[in-house]
Amino acid sequence: MHVGPVTIEDEVLLAGVRNNVGFSSPEFVEAMGKMLRGLRKVFGVDDSYQTFAIVGGGTSAMESVVSLLRKGEKVLVVSNGVFGDRWEPLLKRYPLQVNVLRADPGDYVPPEAVEDEVSKGGYTAVTMTHVETSTGVRHPVEETVKRIRDRVDLIVVDGVSAAGAETVKAKDWGVDVYLTASQKALGAPPGLGLLALSERALERLKGESVSGYLLDLRNWLPVMRNFEEGKLGYFSTLPVHTVLMLAKSLELIEKEGLENRIARHEKVARAIRAGVEGMGLKIVARRPEAYSNTVTGVIVNGVDPAKVLSAVINEGIELAPGVHPKLQGRYFRIGHMGWVTPNDAIATIAVLERVLKSLGEDVRVGEGVKAAQLALYS
């Protein structure tokens, strides 16, 4: 129950158990093509968007966005926490102008505040985070994009902790770049940064940019197009076995049905939150409409969260530490994405009740499990 990498299905793991499969093998070329096509469904885009799989992870996908920017251009970062904040130092490594709108911990920047800032003019791009992993807050992406679509050239959404578990309609919403990573709700191992670029974004690849070399999407574009045509592509060696596993994961996602998968995540998340509140604890996310399907931050009143994590892992469940600096030492995070089930929710709440009680936290033992059970049938 970590926030990523997540527990991986055996079928997905076994898809990577291959010997002597290189980046030029027919098996790999086929897997890349399937994966790039499967990503379009997860991102809610069609063939007018080009999907990419590049080396690294979520942060490499973020930094590759610099390929679309030119010297001196102005970017607005909409940040709801630690990973929204990451855009600032990343973009400031390049000759760009960067402004940041920040939310209080557990909240999101209101869409009207983003609109007000953009209306001042001069912005080329706006970045935002669909689900802020540090707090579990889901941003109202659709509403925000609607308010600013006609006022900026590029809208970039970090969907690292959203894609595969939250509704994503990047094309319908008017998003130019939607990005994620392999090790979160898509349920595969780490190693890949994943993106979808609109026609507008692809046009900007034709001009100059301030990007470096490895993460310049100009170098990756012909490679991706080759793979989709069933031909060999090469720029830098991709993590072959991770590609094979992600291709299998996307195959299983299609088999489950994306809507069914999102509904399963929502059901597990609802049970987790009900269990947390049922035992008497508070959730970091302040607004119910901002609760995510993938991460729940839990505030503790007296115990050391590090001791909680140490104790629960001895019971067979791994949780994640709290990383928001303004909440340091006050919370931990439950990840519920990938291949999670209602049984995982019940087990997590049951273990937390026992552990927290043993550490001296004032929790209502049994009430959390009861509330989680009832939530699963509401």
CA atoms within 13 A on the CB side of 161: 29
- The C-alpha R_g of the chain, in whole angstroms, comes to 21
| Residue pointed to by tokens 């940040």 | 79
pLDDT tens string, the chain, 378 residues long: the values are 999 999 999 999 999 998 888 898 999 999 999 999 999 999 999 999 999 999 999 999 999 999 999 999 999 999 999 999 999 999 999 999 999 999 999 999 999 999 999 999 899 999 999 999 999 999 999 999 999 999 999 999 999 999 999 999 999 999 999 999 999 999 999 999 999 999 999 999 998 899 999 999 999 999 999 999 999 999 999 999 999 999 999 999 999 999 999 999 999 999 999 999 999 999 999 999 999 999 999 999 989 999 999 999 999 999 999 999 999 999 999 999 999 999 999 999 999 999 999 999 999 999 999 999 999 987
Render pLDDT for 194-215 as a digit per residue (tens, 0 to 9). 999 999 999 999 988 999 999 9
User: Partners of 70 in the beta sheet?
Assistant: none
Please tell me the predicted confidence (pLDDT) of residue 236. 96
The model's pTM is 0.97
Question: What backbone torsions phi and psi does residue 225 show, to the nearest 5 degrees?
Answer: -65, -35
Neighbours of 23 (CB within 10 A): 16
* Structural domains in the chain plus CATH codes: 10-256 (3.40.640.10), 258-376 (3.90.1150.10)
